[in-house]
Chain A
Amino acid sequence: MTTSLTPVLQVSDYSLAYRAPRGKIPVINNIDLTIARGEILGLVGESGSGKSSMASAIMRHLPGNAEENAGSIRLGTTDLRAQNERAMSDIRGRRMSMVFQDPATSLNPTLRLGEQLAEVLIRHQGMTTAQAWREGEARLAQVGLKTPAEMMRRLPHEVSGGEKQRVVIATAFACNPELIIFDEPTTALDVITARQILDLFAELQAQTGVASLYISHDLALLSQTANRVAVLQKGTVVEQEETVRLFRAPNHSYTKALIAAAPDPDKRLVQPLEESGTPLVSVQDLSVKFGRKSWVDSLLRRDFQPVVGNQAITLDLQPGEVLGIVGESGSGKSTLAKAMTGLNRFDGLIEFDGKPVRGLSDMDRGYRRDVQIIFQHPDASLNPRQRISEILGRPVRLYGGSGNPRERIKSMLERVRLPAHYIDRFPHELSGGEKQRIAIARAFLSNPRLVICDEITSALDVSVQASVIDLLMELHRDTGAAYVFITHDINLVRQIAHRIAVMYRGDLVEISDAERITDPDRADYTRALLAAVTPPAFTHSL
């Protein structure tokens, strides 16, 4: 690694606040950052810590209500804060560029990939269109796309998420910039694709020696990619250290908490299951198909191909068992959950406690009471116009039970470790983690025997996630309810599940004991999935 004297990026004593109707909200407080040539600085922090605002400040693309202090941001010897909008548009894309989180939204859906890549070259390198297209093809080949010429002519919706992100990366590297900002570039991708993108990033980084600012909420990921890591808490850098040293001996209590909160598959949080003969749920040949044959189709005798969500899934669940379901997005995990809770039509048979359920009409009040679902986004699963008392009052009213409803809600709130006076609040007065606790309380008010958790921690920050999982496991011990735990976080599911089901494109690949998921005789897809997982920061050798 070559380190010249002037750093590529130098941010010193920089603060940023946003003006809001209720006064100024400080976002970044007196930050100092330097990135040398060829260095990767990881910027880690939870949501709302000011990571993305920092990226916007460096790109000089701040919203109108931003207020900055006198601190400086320098790219090489250029003072970025002194540049006007015209000069900045020359610098952006040529001397520094950015890779965004979601390639589906950072590419224009109406322009061909080639046009979007060539535009950067035409704009900044003064190439002609023909030159830019040739150069663009070379760049696409460089980011590991097999058929660059064909790829250039495609529209964004014609390629996969991973390919899109490769094009975005190619665009970012197109003009050999001095600095590239990566804003969570793998968060929106599947585990296996994310791993490939990370490998590509490491390779390009080594080839070009560009300085990188890598923003992420995932410490484990940064422990493998970054040379140095800055930990951001509520707009303040609480610790900035060489990666190896930071993970070996974190100084600040916040860093320690972040490292400790990451799930560790070797630390099992669930008691071994007591064997019982009869399964609680047994799903047999369950298929879900979307779409319906329209009368035009039948009139014209056209063939109708429904979209398959689930293909003949068969699995069973013991009372009190935690079954983890993993798989990439679109593999049918949530579709299965929705079929089991009566939100999707399905073919096949669900046998619950010996009673057969063949369709939505077989799901009586008893089944609804016994099978509860918790959703991914607490913001979306709680009605914003209802108070907590009404949200939690519905299950009490629907399924009955003894005791004063209000008292029952209050004691449930205490069970999920929320203060009882929250009962009269609206959801927007609660934080994300608190909202998810309300959603958990709603599911447990009916004393269910099966709770389906659909990615319930993926919208939460690491530290909040750990406390929500803690609560879930406590409720599991107390109530003995069985869980179906759907997630893409394989480290987490290995911690809490008895058995893990792996799904791929609507099929159930296999089910294995959680302890034996790493066995070499697992299915190919399972092994590929596990190989792509970033091990938690503190277990792998540094």
Chain B
Amino acid sequence: MTDFLGRLLRTPQGFLGCLIVGLIFVAVLGGHWLTPFGPEDMQALARYKAPSAEHWLGTDQYGRDILSRLLDGARSTVVMAVAATVIGTLGGAILGTGSAYLGGRADEFIMRTVDAVMAIPSLLLALLVVSLLGSNSANALLAIAIAFMPSMARISRSVALTVRKQEYVSAAIARGEGSGYIVLREMLPNVIAPIVVEMTIRVSFAVMLFATLSFLGLGAQPPATDWGLMVSEARQYLHRSYWILLWPSAAIALTAIGFNLLGDGLRDALNPRT
């Protein structure tokens, strides 16, 4: 494990990715205590303030401190993105591994269905789910998880097909193990490495998808501190005070870049030969 961390930190992508993601997690876990102001405290006299010593990133149209709102919003935005990715990835991985294990006609059926779902762009699919189920954060999470499942199923199936031919899987079948045990205990742990990499990269997509849904008013609702929602609300004040829009956008971009770099680093660290 230490060996693996060493390899991860030695690559520049891995190091930067760990640093950025680490900072984001500090904001997620401790953002509550770090904020200089309450995220929803309005100060009538301090509206549209540019960044200054008191308000490091300035204030918005209601005089709320943007830094405080960002730190507070990190929790909902990042946690939701990670949760959606984990659910989507695990669901997809189990689907793909199960499909590879079953083989034959069941495999055909599952994978062709997955192909059909994959043909719909993920944002469109997410929009569809949210508009069917109603717009709130939990549904947005579910929507993104569902949108991620097909491609993860495809990736994990291709890895699982090689694992399926391994003799330890044959040994498990010959000893009369149930399908559930074979898929979850014998195959899935050996499929997981590329999935972890893909999952890390997908967190950044999820952050952006969430932001998009919130921007369109289909995710979090005001006065939540969700970053996407902040961008959406700031849009009308772009010409008057651009920083209201700038900082949450920068935070989204930084998170996406951080997770992307971490994913690249993980890929190199998990496959030292390539």
Contact = CB atoms under 8 A, between A and B. Distances in A.
B186 interface: yes
A79 B239 CA distance: 76
A307 interface: no
A398 B177 contact: yes
Interface in B140-177: 166-168, 170-177
Contacts of A382: 168
A377 interface: yes
Interface of B is mostly: helix
B176 A373 contact: no
A377 B167 contact: yes
Interface string A327-371: 000000000001001110000000000000000000101001101
A446 B173 CA distance: 15
B190 A383 contact: yes
Contacts, number: 55
B166 A380 contact: yes
Given A383-B190, A384-B190, A385-B189, A343 B174 contact: yes
A365 B174 contact: no
Nearest to A338: B170
A386 B184 CA distance: 12
A439 B174 CA distance: 13
Nearest to B171: A381
Centre residue among B166, B176, B177, B189 by max chain A CB count within 10 A: B176
A375 B166 CA distance: 10
Contact of B167 (A342, A368, A376, A446): A376
Contacts of A245: none
Interface in B168-208: 168, 170-177, 185-186, 189-190
A395 B72 CA distance: 52
Contact of A385 (B170, B171, B190): B190
B176 A365 contact: yes
A388 to B, nearest CB: 13
Interface string B1-37: 0010000000000000000000000000000000000
Nearest to B190: A385
A343 B189 CA distance: 22
A3 B167 CA distance: 51
Contacts of B170: 338, 343, 373, 375, 381
Nearest to B187: A383
A380 B176 contact: no
Interface in A303-341: 338, 341
Given A363-B176, A365-B176, A368-B176, A375 B171 contact: yes
Nearest to B165: A380
A368 B168 contact: no
A394 interface: yes
Interface of A: 21, 292, 338, 341-343, 363, 365, 368-369, 371-373, 375-377, 380-386, 394-395, 398, 439, 442, 446
Interface of B: 3, 104, 166-168, 170-177, 185-186, 189-190
9 contacts: A292-B104, A342-B174, A343-B170, A365-B176, A368-B176, A375-B171, A380-B167, A398-B176, A442-B171
